[in-house]
Each structure stands twice: as structure tokens, then as C-alpha cells.
Amino acid sequence: MASQLTVGGAVDWEFAGSVGARLARPGPPATDYTRRQAIEDLAEAARRAEGPVRDVTGLSTGTEVPDARIIDRQQWIRAASQSMRVMTGGSDTPANVVTGRIAGAQTGAVLAFVSSGILGQYDPFSGASGELLLVYPNVIAVERQLRVPPRDFRLWVCLHEVTHRVQFSANPWLAGHMSRALEVLTGDRGDDLRQVIGRLSEFVRSRNDPMRGDPMRRDPMRGDPNSAGILGLLRAVQSEPQRQALDQMLMLGTLLEGHADHVMDAVGPAVVPSVAQIRRRFEDRRGRRQPPLQRLLRALLGVDAKMSQYTRGKAFVDHVVDVVGMARFNTVWSGPDSLPLPHEIEDPQRWIDRVL
């Protein structure tokens, strides 16, 4: 299947990592002692978080707790570019050197922008069994902005990110499910240019239709954060199989992020003394008004859609766990058919009725 992929082969991923690392903004000023302390704290917190997360989720990996990799922004960019190469079926050498360098420079610039906002990330495509990455300069920057106890905040962040590690470690099929969806998303389906233009024109007309308030003509995706900005445009030019694959990826992301937020809140009060203060200030930071340019970039990169994933996904998990308990909720990890559908994220009872 990998030979059918085209997006990964169009990018010089090594160049993307190099360009992104050069463009990344420096981290916050800190002494060598502060940096060492943050690295040590995060490594310890990642190990401490594993037990409580497994207990609350009821998910057991059956393996020893692997060490997290504590990195800076430049290292995250290089790691992300290599992960994207693996996810999209790319190789060390792009199909076209010149266009590969251009695409690599563009990708690197995007990664450089994103790198200052990533606290941590579980990468299921790194190495033989995935890798947990924690970006210590960003953790330092945010804990200073929030004015919260550093050690508490570092453990709180690890509760969320370790949950992702447990999700994938306990359910190895998740990585394969993501890979198959990515094969469809990044494959060249040979669509005629006229078909693509026609879909794009329909997208534009639907956004300017004066009758859009008519329930009989309303776009079912209107109001969904995934239908606006770049995601909306992407959906407009995709074939139906690609739209279905994108929906699968978005719903899986919503479930994973919402589940991690639910677990973080369930575990937090028992192990993080200042968790209420951290949660309140962190939520205020998420909703704070951004400068116009930053708001534009957030919209283009889909950051606002990701913020919606946290709230919508957590509401879904909270409801299901409240109604049926965590043990029965874990049926969601049985396989692709048990994952929530788009309409079930908004109406969890429909997922309960279908799956349980």
C-alpha cells in the first residue's frame, strides 16, 4: 500500500526538519539549573503518571513503563518531520529534488510555528513501539504564564500525555487504523481536475447560499469546527472515500483527546495538589483572545478545531462514563466499528445504544 502514497514522497522531510529547526523561536530564558530541573521533573512525572492512569482507565499495557524523551523545540520539529514521513509513506529521498525542497521548506515553516505550542506528544509511529515526547521549554513557558507550581504543572501535563501512551500501548490496532486512514487521505486517487473544481465550487456556493438558514437546505457540516477554514476547504476537494477517512481521523482524535482530558481530571485531584488552580488558569489561557495574525494562523492550521476536540471529546467521555462506567466505556477500544461516529460525539446516548 505504501507505494500508492504520493504526499509523503513529495516532501524532502530531512530538509523540512532542518528548515523548521532554524526557524523555530528560542525557548524562554532559563538558567542551566532550571533547564536540568525541568528535564528531571518531567522524566520522573512521566513515570509517576503511568500507574494512576492505568488504574483509572482500566487499560493495561502489560509492559514496563518506557522512559519519556525530554526534548527542546528544535528536536521536536525534527522528530515530527520524521514521524510525518513514516505516516505518509515518504522516503529519505523525495520523488523530485526541487519540488521536494520547496515542499520541505513550507512544511518546516509550519512545524516551526507549531513547535512553540506543543507541551507533549505521544508518537505511535516512532521506533518499534512508539515514543512519548515532552517539550520542556514550552512547559517552562506555560507554567510561568499561568503562575502555577512547576512540579504540579509538569505532572498534570504528563497525566494527559501518558494517557495517550496508554491508549496506544493497550490497543495496538489504533496505530494501524490511523495508518490505513492516512493511506486513503494521502493517496493519489486520480480525480479529474474538473471534478475537484466542481466540488470546490459547490463548497463556495454553500457558504454563500442565502437560503442556508432553511433547514431543508442547510449543510449538515455547518457549525462543525471541522467544516471551516483549511479543514472545510480540504473536505471540499476530497473524494468521498477521502472525506470518510478524514472523518475517521477527526473522530479518533476527538475521542483520544477527550478521553485524556477526562482521565487527567479524574486522576488530578489525588496526585496534583494545585490541580483546580491549574485547570482554571489553563482553560482561561485556551479561551484568551489572540492577536489577529495569530488567530488567522490558528484557523489555517486547524488549532481551533483541535481545541474543539478537547471539549467535545471530553463531554462525550464524561457522559458515557457517568452512565455506564469506565469498564463498559472501554468497549470503545474493541476495534474500528466501536469508535464513535460523528453524530454520536454530539449525542453519546446514540453510541451507547449502538455499541453497548
Q: Which band of pLDDT confidence, cut at 50, 70 and 90, is reported for residue 263?
A: very high
In the chain, domain spans = 2-184+270-298, 190-237
Q: Which band of pLDDT confidence, cut at 50, 70 and 90, is reported for residue 327?
A: very high
pLDDT at 234: 56
> Torsion angle, CA of 289/290/292/294, rounded to 10 degrees?
-150
> Torsion angle, CA of 247/251/253/255, rounded to 10 degrees?
-170
Tens of pLDDT, residue by residue over 119-137, are: 999 998 887 778 999 999 9
Q: Which has the closest alpha carbon to 85: 163, 32, 185, 16?
A: 16
pLDDT at 248: 84
Please name the amino acid found at residue 242: Q
Mean pLDDT of the chain: 81
Tens of pLDDT, residue by residue over 78-121, are: 999 998 888 777 777 888 888 889 989 988 998 998 899 899 99
333 has pLDDT over 50? yes
Identify the H or E element spanning 230: helix 229-237
What is the spatial distance between Cα 164 and Cα 25, in angstroms, rounded to a whole number? 27
8 A C-beta contact, residue 6 and residue 186? yes
pLDDT at 7: 62
242 has pLDDT over 90? no
* CA-to-CA separations, 103 to 8, 141, 293, 299, 303, in angstroms, rounded: 10, 30, 23, 21, 21
What is the spatial distance between Cα 237 and Cα 295, in angstroms, rounded to a whole number? 24
pTM of the model: 0.81
Please tell me the least confidently modeled range out of 48-62, 219-233, 272-286. 219-233
8 A C-beta contact, residue 229 and residue 300? yes
8 A C-beta contact, residue 180 and residue 249? no
Ranges 13-27, 52-66, 110-124, 181-195, most confident: 13-27
What is the spatial distance between Cα 258 and Cα 311, in angstroms, rounded to a whole number? 7
Interacting residues of 348 by C-beta distance below 8 A, sequence separation 6+: 315, 316, 319, 320, 323, 340
Please tell me the least confidently modeled range out of 91-100, 221-230, 326-335. 221-230
